Structure 1
Amino acid sequence: MSSRSMKLIPLVPLVPLVPLVPLVLAAALVATGCSLAPTYERPAAPVPNVFPGDPPQPGGAAASTVAWQDFFTDPRLAKLIDTALANNRDLRIAVQNIEQARAQFQVQRSALFPTVGVAASGSRSSPNPFQTFGLGGSVTSQYSVNLGITAWEIDFFGRITSLKDAALAQYLATEEARNAVQISLIASVANGWLQLLADEEQLEITRQTLTTREDSQRLTKMRFDNGVSSEIDMQLANSLAENARAALAALQRARLQDENALALLLGAPVPAESMAGIRSLEDAQPMADVPAGLPSDLLADRPDIRAAEQQLIAANANIGAARAAFFPRVALTTSVGTQSTQFSNLFDSGTKAWVFAPQITLPIFDAGRNQANLDSARAGREIAVAQYEKSIQSAFRDVGDALAGRQTLGDEVRALRATTEAETVRLRLNTLRWRNGIASSLDLLDAQRSLFTAQLATVQARLQQLQNQVTLYKALGGGWKA
């Protein structure tokens, strides 16, 4: 880059001009503040005002105003969430990212203010290179001590202010990203705990089923030995018993793996008291119900959307910095101090000196670099707009999917519970008929198999229903407000 510059560095007695220095600094501060950044306007949300299949209801409350402590009311789960918030490493990383972004913002903001420092120097020189060995020649000495400002850019066109605003937005985006991590962590802990409850319930069902099938296996073998049952019945009883053992082993493995996953979220082992008194999903205290008819503008409270908007604000500010690069830069160097050729009288009367050196740099030719930077900043803003709009659309889909689950999972759970009750009755009747010699072993074993399948499906559907409540709460942006 080629530029023209003007520099004036007088070295004269201090007293007549020292009062002018504060006036110049004050005038420079007053002159700053002009910004070339475009006026920021939030883009319109590219989604409908209401969620699909969820018409507005009078008096609907904002779910995002509900703190997680009020939503997850079970004390065992609340203790797990507290542990995760204290120990989870992903959340710690997010917090440190905030600290790093805050420090970077403070670094950028400091450029708005002059850096005042003290400089002391001393030198001795001679035109005769043999003077060092005592072969003649004069020695010149120079000593100085100065207090002043070095190369302070006065922000006439808002370049530094725009960079500061961009750094501030990046910091705020990082903070919102941390809030998003917290929401995800809380939801993951809740889902992990509910999964453990479902594992315990399914294990209990499988143990009972295995006991029942082992009894049937033993009785069928006795009947076969006595010539009452066929080998087909005996082999079917053996097959169902072994299937139950395999299912029990698979569920035990899944239970241990789910506990390991929850321990990773907690950053600590899962305490035994978190499962105390719980044998099924119904033993957990219910979560608060999210009201129906919520408006889609609640999505603005989601931290990930707020983070995307801060990124958009930062991109908007970068345009101001790129525009300011086309205008002159004014830098100021000034100092007051003392200067002498003798170190012994450095602070004596008559050794005072001052420097006042403004510098103006005007870009003339840079091979299109400034224009390319401006084009890049404008493209960055358009990218940020698209990312912001996409984050809203993704959030809208998350809520819509969760609402669809709320509307249908309840019916599914009720139907499966009715199926389980019917299969229970069928098994009881088939057992009576089999013992009285009316029904065959095939009827009995088929009833056992159908009941086991219905019981596991009911537990899985109930788990999905509860986890869907967690997903809806998370999708609406709840869980990060203290």
Structure 2
Amino acid sequence: MINMIKLMPFLLLTGCATVGPNWESPTTPLTSTFVSGDNKSIDEVAYTPWWREFNDPILTELVETGFSQNLDILQARERIQEANAELRKTGINSALEGSLSYSRLRSGGENQSTSISSTTGLSASYVIDLFGGVERAREAALANLVAAQADVGTERLAWLAEVVANYADARYYQQALDLTRNTISTRNSTLEVTQREYDAGLSTLYELAEAEAALQSAQAELPSYQALFRSKVFAIATLLDQPAKPLIAKIEESQSQLNLPSDPAIGLPADLLRNRPDIRYQEAILHQEVAETGVDESSLYPSISLTGSVSNKDSLDSWSFGPSISLGIFNRGYLNAQRDAQESVAKQAEIAWRASVQDAVEDVQVAQSNLSLYREQTELLVKAASSYSKALKFGYDNYKNGAMTLLDLLDTVRLEANAQISAAYAYNTSLQEWASLQIAIGAGAGFSDIPEQTADSTTQEN
């Protein structure tokens, strides 16, 4: 057995060593501003309830109650509990092992008296963390907890994007239904005028059939818009994990149009590093993989543990205590390969982090550009729809006066209806690009967070 006095100088020399790379926050080149941005930074936007700016009480209620109901978010929260449990398994809890045992045996046989024997034993072992393997494992578990917490924000933003997009689409299809009903009313009026003219001998059967066909075509569009409206509400019900029927009735009670807010402040590219939960998640994963490199590195060095046991058998006590040392020799090639593979995993995690930063910058710039351009398109299409409405009014007067043919009038009716639908569609697209821009900067990722145990408090507990 190794003499502890002889071993002490070795312990003093190596007891403070922690092998493997030390963690440093990663960096990547970033432009000082976005393409169409300014040079003003923004504060943390995780708790910004930006969906309230649409001025739709139903949407606000759905979003703020849905945070606690969506299954993906609940699953992500549960992963935090799992990560917390994994963290508690590290440190002293992974270095110390022990067990208590008790057995009672009755024995005997032919021409033998029955005898009873009992044995009680207590054994324990403690791994001395000479090279920081235990410490690195705890560091990796702590980073995994941080990643799990960031992942909740990522799931929340993904859920927010889907809820708002589906709700905005549902409101658009409601508006499309109303516009189509207006078109039906207009074409019905045209048919009535044509019918009177036909009865008076001023129109032909061909023109009457044209008017009837135009009316029927408009009527045929209603079921498709209704189906699209319901499909969006069904999607919202799934996202909220609630029945669809009452939700359909609730949304159908209101025909309100979402408000398009002014452009939000987007800050600087560097702000994304703290505001985007997916970037923080990738950074935490990188931290975890770097720490795991230290764990694998420590397996290349000697491992020393202190073991001891106490037992009592038939009132006879015995005990043992002493250190043991182990060092991988014949599996050295395997351990080196394992360490090298982990180094590659850590490098891949760094690349994934850099890619997430680039993707985030792209998300912001695309959403900002789209919002600006679709706002411009919406304004032009609204003006075009207004002009077609004026043209249609004049067209009716001209048709009644005989200055316009029925075919030209029907064409004007069709163009006016298409212009109204196009304007509504562009407005809905602008709404969704505004929401996409909020998602891109990470706004709302932490809203409605239940206070969670921080990594520091968890560390102190253990």
TM range (shorter): 0.7 to 0.9
Alignment partners' CA distance in 2, 1:30 and 1:78: 62
Alignment partners' CA distance in 1, 2:436 and 2:252: 25
Alignment match, 2:302: 328
Offset of residue 225 of structure 1: 4.6
Letter paired with 2:251: M
User: Does residue 323 of structure 2 align to residue 358 of structure 1?
Assistant: yes
Offset of residue 257 of structure 1: 0.8
User: Does residue 200 of structure 2 align to residue 235 of structure 1?
Assistant: no
Question: Over residues 78-124 of structure 1, what are the superposed CA-to-partner deviations in whole Å (9 max), with x where a residue is unaligned?
Answer: 21012211211111211122222222222234544423442334568
- Shift in CA distance, 254/213, structure 1 to aligned 2, threshold 3 Å: same
Offset of residue 426 of structure 1: 0.1
- Shift in CA distance, 469/51, structure 1 to aligned 2, threshold 3 Å: same
Alignment match, 2:24: 41
- Shift in CA distance, 119/261, structure 1 to aligned 2, threshold 3 Å: same
For the pair shown, the structure with the greater C-alpha radius of gyration is 1
Calculate the aligned-residue CA RMSD, in Å: 3.0
Are the aligned partners of 2:371 and 2:433 in contact in 1 as well (CA < 8 Å)?
Answer: yes
- Shift in CA distance, 218/477, structure 1 to aligned 2, threshold 3 Å: same
Alignment partners' CA distance in 2, 1:179 and 1:33: 38
Alignment match, 2:425: 460
Letter paired with 2:300: F
Are the aligned partners of 2:50 and 2:443 in contact in 1 as well (CA < 8 Å)?
Answer: no
Alignment partners' CA distance in 1, 2:164 and 2:117: 73
Equivalent of 1:380, from 312, 323, 345? 345
Alignment partners' CA distance in 2, 1:252 and 1:240: 20
Alignment match, 1:318: 292
Relative contact order (C-alpha < 8 Å, sep 6+): which is higher?
A: 1
Alignment match, 2:120: 145
Are the aligned partners of 2:300 and 2:332 in contact in 1 as well (CA < 8 Å)?
Answer: no
- Any idea what SS the aligned residue of 1:87 has? coil
Alignment match, 1:297: 270
Question: Over residues 105-163 of structure 1, what are the superposed CA-to-partner deviations in whole Å (9 max), with x where a residue is unaligned?
Answer: 222345444234423345689xxxxx843379xx99875434441x4322111112222
Letter paired with 2:73: L
Equivalent of 1:279, from 248, 255, 259? 255
Equivalent of 1:264, from 238, 241, 247? 238
Alignment match, 2:367: 402
TM-score normalised over the length of structure 1:
0.83
Alignment match, 1:306: 280
Q: Which moved more, 1:27-36 or 1:384-393?
A: 27-36
Offset of residue 38 of structure 1: 0.5
Alignment match, 2:35: 52
Alignment match, 1:14: none
Alignment partners' CA distance in 2, 1:249 and 1:276: 15
Alignment match, 2:72: 90
Q: Structure 1 vs Structure 2: percent identity of aligned residues?
A: 24
Equivalent of 1:369, from 334, 353, 373? 334
Are the aligned partners of 1:124 and 1:142 in contact in 2 as well (CA < 8 Å)?
Answer: yes
- Any idea what SS the aligned residue of 1:360 has? strand
Alignment partners' CA distance in 2, 1:164 and 1:111: 10
User: What pairs up with 1:174-213 in 2 under 5 angstroms?
Assistant: 174-213=148-187
Are the aligned partners of 1:35 and 1:157 in contact in 2 as well (CA < 8 Å)?
Answer: yes
Offset of residue 30 of structure 1: 12
Offset of residue 229 of structure 1: 2.5
- Any idea what SS the aligned residue of 2:68 has? helix
Offset of residue 287 of structure 1: 4.6
Alignment partners' CA distance in 1, 2:44 and 2:397: 52
Offset of residue 401 of structure 1: 0.8
Alignment partners' CA distance in 2, 1:63 and 1:70: 17
User: Does residue 98 of structure 2 align to residue 133 of structure 1?
Assistant: no
Alignment partners' CA distance in 1, 2:168 and 2:13: 61
- Any idea what SS the aligned residue of 2:308 has? strand
Equivalent of 2:82, from 91, 100, 104? 100
Are the aligned partners of 1:64 and 1:298 in contact in 2 as well (CA < 8 Å)?
Answer: no
Alignment partners' CA distance in 1, 2:201 and 2:2: 116
Alignment partners' CA distance in 1, 2:13 and 2:438: 49
Alignment match, 2:457: none
Uncovered stretches (5+) of structure 2, i.e. residues with no partner: 448-462
Alignment partners' CA distance in 1, 2:46 and 2:67: 19
TM-score normalised over the length of structure 2:
0.86
- Shift in CA distance, 69/433, structure 1 to aligned 2, threshold 3 Å: closer
Alignment partners' CA distance in 1, 2:250 and 2:429: 20
Offset of residue 440 of structure 1: 1.1
Alignment match, 1:61: 42
Letter paired with 1:279: Q
Question: Over residues 33-55 of structure 1, what are the superposed CA-to-partner deviations in whole Å (9 max), with x where a residue is unaligned?
Answer: 63212022233234423212224
- Shift in CA distance, 63/206, structure 1 to aligned 2, threshold 3 Å: farther
Alignment match, 1:11: none
